[in-house]
Each structure stands twice: as structure tokens, then as C-alpha cells.
Structure 1
Amino acid sequence: MTTTPVPDDDFLRLDQQICFSLNAASRAFGSLYRVVLKDLGLTYPQYLVMLVLWEHGDLPVKKVGEHLRLDSGTLSPLLKRLETASLVRRERSALDERSVLVGLTGEGTALRERALRVPRRIAAATGFELAEIEDLRTRLDRLTGALDAAALEETPGSG
């Protein structure tokens, strides 16, 4: 497959920026998730935390952050709001007092059942077949890996 080269002047056009297309899609997802998650009483970032805990069970806050690519400064307020909503509990690790474990409460566990319909509603809204969604996710994961590697190469003192 050959591609037509993009003229230099066109590289700075907004419609040529993959980052803008990804950002626009992300904002569109955010708008849809706001509506879909309203019944669960969750924001999208809170939903992501719950997904990690439903999948992995109790985890140190640091591990939750690693799964979500969030630092503790961003994650801590999310966890506090989920704890206030009685969906999660936080407690110091008995093995390492510096580590805080986060886990689901009974209410948080029960919420999973109501959340099961969310992915299907989102998938249906895309208008894509499930195979197309899987292909897109695979490509985005590959893109993320390539961008992470490129950023590391660009970081002073990393090479």
C-alpha cells in the first residue's frame, strides 16, 4: 500500500493532526460516559478506578495508579470521593505502613452488577462491530507503546 505524501504546508492543518482526532474522540467518549454513568453515580475517572478494583481486587494505591496511568495527586481525590460514597475503603497496609490499600466495600462490589450494561451501551454507540472495536483498541495500545518509547527517547538523560 502506497500513501500520498502530505505537503509540508498541510502538516500544520488541524485536520491532519492525529492528536486532535484522538482528543476529539476522547471528549466525545467523555460526553457519552457522563450520560451513561449518571445512573451509577460515577464520573468516568471513578468508573475506571472501579473497573481496576472489580478486575484485580484490593490493591495498593500505587498499583491502581499504575493501571490507570495516574499519579497519586490525581488518584487520591478520586479515591476520597469513592470512599465518601461508600464504594471503596482505604487502609494502611499491615506489612508496610507507607502503603495504602484500596478495596471495594459491599456497595462497591454490588455496583458491578449494574455496571455490566455500560460497555455494551458504549460499544453500541460507536456504531462499530466488536471486531472493529478490538482492532482499534489493539492499534491504540500499539500507538501508546510507540509514543511512550518515543517520549522516553526524547527525555534528556534517558539515553
Structure 2
Amino acid sequence: MYELKTKETDNSVIEFIEQVESPKKREDAFRLLDIFTETTGFEAKMWGPSIIGFGSYHYKYKTGHEGDAPLVGFSPRKAKISLYFATGDEKREELLKEFGKHTTGKACVYINKMEDINVDVLRKLIKQSVSFLREVYPNSN
């Protein structure tokens, strides 16, 4: 049976951020922690070894696969900072046009540093993602 790798853990978010090698990336991670906490109202939790998540929702696909995931989150990775927002909502794409310098993957938005982005748009992306996922998954926290 498939085992989810990204589960909520009791690991310390602060300790994780303090272990980020790059001082600049560590500073950006603390800034993101403040912005995500303030915008969502949720306490930050570690999901797996490297994702800082806020809130949670339970999903179940038509295939029967199900699990829990954070509503939004981020990870200060070595190469870039990964931001996790809901996919599938066209409002996200509109907001990303005003976001600043970034790239996107299947489910992530990648930034190099906080100076590259518009923080007001980041807050809108966080709120939009939480609202969208709460609509799709009404039992979310």
C-alpha cells in the first residue's frame, strides 16, 4: 500500500529554519513564516522533513487514494524557495501575473528571494488558496 511521505510531524519549525545554511534564505524563511502565520491565522507545522504547512485538509481522489495536506505552505530549499498553493483555480494564474519574479512547477511556485516578489500579492495568493481548498474540501481545518 502507498505510504504518504508528507505527513504532519511534531518537529520544530523554528529549529528547521535555523538549520537553513544560507543566511539570506534563513532570513526569508522567517519572513515567510510571519506572513503565512499572520495571513492564515494557523500555527505553522512541519510536514515531512522540509515543508512548513498551515492548516490542513483531507482529500480523496476518485481512484480511492486519500490523505491530508496543508492548505498552504513553503519550503526554503537549497536552490529556490518553494511555495505551495492550491492548483486548479484560475484566480491563482491571474494573481501570479502580478507576483513578481518566479517560476512554476506542477504544484509549486518557486522564488529565489523575497525581494523578487510582491508581498501584497503573496498574501492574496495565500488567502485565495485557503478559500479555494475550503470550498473544494469543506471539512478542512
Q: TM-score, normalised by structure 2?
A: 0.27
Q: Write 1 or 2 for the structure with the bigger share of helix.
A: 1
Q: TM-score, normalised by structure 1?
A: 0.25
Higher-RCO chain (CA-CA 8 Å, sequence separation at least 6): 2
